[in-house]
Amino acid sequence: MSRGIASFLSPPELQRLGRLALQSRSIVEGNLAGRHRSPLKGASSEFADHRAYFPGDDPRHIDWKVLGRTERYFIRRYEEETNLRVYLVVDRSASMGYGSGNTGSKYAFACRLAAAIGYVVLKAKDSVGLFLYSDRVTAALGARNSFRHLDNLLGVLADQKPGKATATAATLHQVAESVRKRALIVIFSDLFDEGEALRQALAHFRKQRHDVILFHVLDPAEIDFPFAKGAEFEDLETGDRLPVDPRRLADDYRRVFAGFLADCRKPCTELNIDYRLARTDQSAELFARAYLEERKRLSK
C-alpha cells in the first residue's frame, strides 16, 4: 500500500471506494482508451457523423446504405473512447485551518475527500492532477495515471498547511487558463470570496467546456453557530479580533450565512455545476461514496 494513500484512507475504506467510478457528464479529451466520450474521431462503437470518402480510406468504414441512397461514397466516423483527466483543486487558505470540536480542520477534511476522489479516479484507469492554492497557486501537478503519482500528489497535500489569505476567484481563473484540454475539475473550498467574482471564475471553467464539481467544505459550527458564551472571535486570515456575545447575534448570523450558502449554490445551478455542501462532521469516505453513487444514478 502506498504510504501517501494510506495516510488518508484505511484499507477497508479503499476497498469500498474501489468498486466505484467517477463519470464525466461532458465530452473529454485524454490519452488512453477508456469509458468517456472524446471529441476526437476514431474507430469505436458509437457513431458520430459522415465524411466524404477519399482514396486510401479503409473500405470497411464505407456506409453502404448511404451509397445506395445517394450513389456517393461516405465514411462513417465514430466517437473515440478516452480516459478522463481529473484535476483536484484544493483550497489551503488560512480559513481552511478552522476546526471545531473533534472534527478536525476543513483542510484536513478536504484532503481526505480529495484522496478518496483521486483513488476512485485511478482505479478506473483515469488520470488525476492537482492544483493547491491560497492567495495564489502554490502547487500544480499534471494529470497522470499511476498510483505513484497519486502518492506524490497526496504527499504534497500532507506537507502543506493552511496559510495566507484567500483569493479563490482569481486563482480559479489561473487554473482555468492552465487546463487546456477539456477535463473534470473538482474544487474543494469554503468559498470565502466575493460572490460575483466567484461566479465569473466558475463561468470561466464552463466556457472552457470543463465539467465541474464543487465541494463546499464547511465546519458545522460555521453553519449552525452553536456558541452560547461570550467570546473573542478571530479572523484567521487578517488576525483581527472581535469580542462577541453570540446569543445576541445568533439569529442574524444564521440568516446571513444561509444567504451566503444560497449565493454559492445559485451560480452552480445556472452553470450546470455539481454543487455539494460537505460538512466536516462526517466521514469523508462515506460522503464520497454517497456522492458517487448518487452521480451514477442521476447519469443513467
**Residue 298, pLDDT score:** 82
Alpha-carbon separation of residue 105 from 97, 118, 131, 280 (angstroms): 5, 20, 19, 8
Residue 161 β-bridge partners: none
Confidence at residue 103, expressed as pLDDT on a 0 to 100 scale: 79
Amino acid 83: pLDDT: 74
pLDDT at 77: 61
pTM: 0.81
pLDDT score recorded for residue 284: 97
Output the pLDDT for position 32.
39
- Mean pLDDT per segment of 10 residues, for the chain of length 300 residues? 78 93 67 46 53 73 85 68 83 95 91 97 93 95 93 94 91 94 95 93 95 97 92 88 91 96 96 97 96 86
Are 232 and 130 spatial neighbours (Cβ–Cβ below 8 Å)? no
Topology adopted by domain 3-28+83-299: Rossmann fold (3.40.50)
Where along the chain do its domains lie? Answer: 3-28+83-299, 36-82
Report the SS3 class of residue 171: helix
pLDDT at position 163:
86
Residue 195 makes CB contacts below 8 A (sequence gap 6+) with 263, 264, 267
Give Dmax (Cα) for the chain. Answer: 86
Distance separating the N- and C-terminal Cα atoms of the chain: 33
C-alpha cell at 13: 475504506
pLDDT at residue 43, as a whole number: 47
pLDDT at position 52, please?
76
The pLDDT of residue 63 is: 85
Q: What is the DSSP string of 226-294?
A: ---S-EEEE-TTT--EEEE-HHHHHHHHHHHHHHHHHHHHHHHHHTT-EEEEEESSS-HHHHHHHHHHH
Q: What is the pLDDT of residue 33?
A: 40
The per-residue pLDDT for 101 is 77
What pLDDT does 49 receive? 59
Question: C-alpha distances in angstroms, 90 versus 80, 93, 179?
Answer: 31, 9, 15
